[in-house]
Each structure stands twice: as C-alpha cells, then as structure tokens.
Structure 1
Amino acid sequence: MIAHGRILERLKEGTAPHHAAAEQRLDLENRLRDSSAYAALIGRLCGFYRPLESALGRVRGYEELDLRFSERSKAHHLVNDLAELGHAPDRFPICPPPQVPSLGDALGRMYVLEGATLGGRMISRMVEARLGFTPERGCAFFASYGDRVGAMWTAFRSALVRFATTPEVEREIIVAAVDTFDRFNSWLASAGERP
C-alpha cells in the first residue's frame, strides 16, 4: 500500500525521465538563437497550452483545494507574446487536447505546467540577454507569476498533498503528468526545425 503524503516525491520520481526528455527536446540553445526561432517556439507552445488549458478549465473542484484555475492560466501570455513578435496565434498549429476526466487527472497535468513556470524564470533571463525581449514586451509567458512564482508553486504542491489521499488518486495524478510530458515531447518533436 502507498503511504499517504508522498505524492510529491512519487511525482518527481515517476516523471523524472519524461521531464529530462522535455528539457532536452526544448533545446533552448537552438530555439533562442534568433527572434525567428524564438517566435516559432512561442507559437508551438501556444498551440500546446491553449487547447490543454481549455480542457483543464472545464474541470470542476479547484476551488475546494483553494486553487483558482483562471489565476494559473498562461495561454493568454503566449498570445500576447506572439502579438508583440508580430504573429497571430492562428498561424500556428494546435495540439489535440487530452481527455481530462477528473480533478486528479487535471492536477497531474497542471503539475507539469506549474513546474514549467519555475524554469521559466531562468528562460526569461536568457531571452532578455540574448534577444532583448522582456516580460513587458515579448516574454510574458516565461515570466508568468512574476515574483509570486515561489508562492504559487508552494500553494499548488499543498493542494496536491491534500487531494492525493488514496493510492488510486496518486496513480491517476502521476499517469496524467507522465502523459502530459510525453504529449509535450511529441508536440515539440513534430515541429521539426520549421520556423
């Protein structure tokens, strides 16, 4: 039987190889080589986040965990960044969204998106240093939450611990997180190197 309260370490362990693959697939050195490559990355991310967040937003129960999904949505930042870069979001393909049948599944998927926000701080600094885009102009997505990143991550982790009260729920969360990493990896891979 799975001991209660260990969801965070089980998630980290269960997703580690998928997370590492996503970081490798992201290939920041290449995707931040110039503004055209950066715009292609933002467009690809927009095509992934918009349908996924739409599916996540239809799930009920976040409020019972003191989470406001609308506060955690980041797709609008990608749309705004694309506008700053001179592109419309409909220029880019859309990733088919997963089925999100439950709050547990949604939380597993959100674990991936919320965790990515932590890495976004470092990427935001890289984008500004290499390309000159700032959170106010072209790099809002990677700077999501601003100085609230740590507090938002802590609140999300606490909600996961409160929600994952059975082995079945823990498994559901982990399976959804792994699936999200795998979908993300496939989505980036399918873009090839097209601008």
Structure 2
Amino acid sequence: MLSTNIKAETHSAHQELEGKVVRRLKAIRSNEDYADLLKYFYAYFSAIENAIATYINESVIPDWANRRHANAIATDIQELGFSVNDLPPVVVPTISNTLQALGALYVMEGSIMGGPYIVQMLKKGGLQNGFSFFSGYGENTGQMWATFTAILNNAASTETQQQEVIGAADETFSNFSKIFNVEKVV
C-alpha cells in the first residue's frame, strides 16, 4: 500500500524534521517561545495550502472542508498574544498535479498524529492555551487519518504514480525541516 511505502521511503526526512521540532518543543519556556514555533508551522502550512489549492478539493477529499487548515495555527498564535507577522521564509515542493499535492498533504495530515503528545509536553511546561492546531481532530483524529490514507492508497495505481506521491512527500518533509534552520522569528 502507498501509505506504507511512503512512510518507509520518507523515514529519513521525517526523522530529521521530527528531531528539529522536538528540540524546539523542549526549549519552549513561554508563550513567546511557543508562538515562535507556531510561526514556522503557520508559514509552511499556509504556503503548502496555497500550493495544493488547485489540486485538492472535495472531489479529491470529500471531507476537505472539515480538515485542519493553517488558520487554526493563526488562531493559536493570536490566542497566545502574538501576530502572524514576521514569518520565516519557506520553500515549498513543486506541486503540479493531484498526486504531488497528496504527497504534500500526507505530511500535513500526518503531523496531527503526534499532536496529543505535543499538547501534553506543552502543558507540562506550563502553557495553558494555543492548542487547537496540535489537538488535531480530537477524538476523531484516528478516523480522519484512516480516511485520508484510504484516499491516498487509491490515488496512485502505478509505480510511477506512487513514486510521484512519495517524492513530493519527501520534499515536503525536507523543505519543512530546512525552515527550522532560521533563528527565532517572534
């Protein structure tokens, strides 16, 4: 299945990104630190949403309107008392078709799977709000992920198509990881 292959073939880029995010999470000591981290997510997720907008809609993902979007990150930043200005520069992968868009979306949708652990870490560190993004879909997170991976698994029927999805996902992970090389933006 594509969802299994994509996980295996993007493992290295995924681990690199995860390591950078976890280091940033462990360094959070204030709302300002947390807002700074969220700005990286907001900048990248907004850019990815713009890049996939032409290719992803309700005909591809029937519950698209109910999916988590970058505006949830903006809401969290504002709830913490900061604005969505002063964002880090981002480079998005090349998205020129639905398969590549689904590859990028794999990274975005997959980011919710660790959300409950992130919220728990943040709460242990004394933070009290700004959790809507990392809360994902709440108790429906598992079902939303299963729905997405079912769509993903049916989208690419040939090896060439699967490699196109995997390549876009790998590039999405890698490019997201690179923005964390930029110093604090708040």
Length-normalised TM-score, structure 2: 0.90
2:143 aligned residue: 151
Distance 1:67 1:179 in 2: 25
Of residues 72, 75, 78 in structure 2, which corresponds to 1:77?
A: 72
More helix by proportion, 1 or 2?
1
Which structure 2 residues correspond to residues 14-33 of structure 1 after superposition, within 5 A?
Answer: 14-26=9-21, 27=23, 28-30=25-27, 32-33=28-29
Which structure 2 residues correspond to residues 39-58 of structure 1 after superposition, within 5 A?
Answer: 39-58=35-54
Of residues 166, 169, 175 in structure 2, which corresponds to 1:174?
A: 166
CA drift of 1:122 comes to 1.0
1:36 aligned residue: 32
Q: Which amino acid aligns with 1:158?
A: A
Distance 1:96 1:23 in 2: 18
- Between stretches 14-23 and 48-57, larger displacement belongs to 48-57
Of residues 67, 70, 90 in structure 1, which corresponds to 2:62?
A: 67
1:3 aligned residue: none
Give the share of equivalent positions with the same residue, in percent.
27
Does the aligned pair in 1 maintain the 2:76–2:133 contact within 8 Å?
yes
Can you give the 5+ residue segments of structure 2 that lack an aligned partner in the other structure?
none
Which structure 2 residues correspond to residues 175-194 of structure 1 after superposition, within 5 A?
Answer: 175-189=167-181, 191-193=182-184
RMSD: 1.7
Does the aligned pair in 2 maintain the 1:65–1:162 contact within 8 Å?
no
Length-normalised TM-score, structure 1: 0.86
1:162 and 2:149 correspond: no
Q: Which runs of 4+ in 1 moved over 3 A?
A: 62-68, 96-99
Distance 1:161 1:74 in 2: 22
Distance 1:49 1:102 in 2: 18
Q: Between Structure 1 and Structure 2, how many residues are aligned?
A: 184
CA drift of 1:120 comes to 1.1
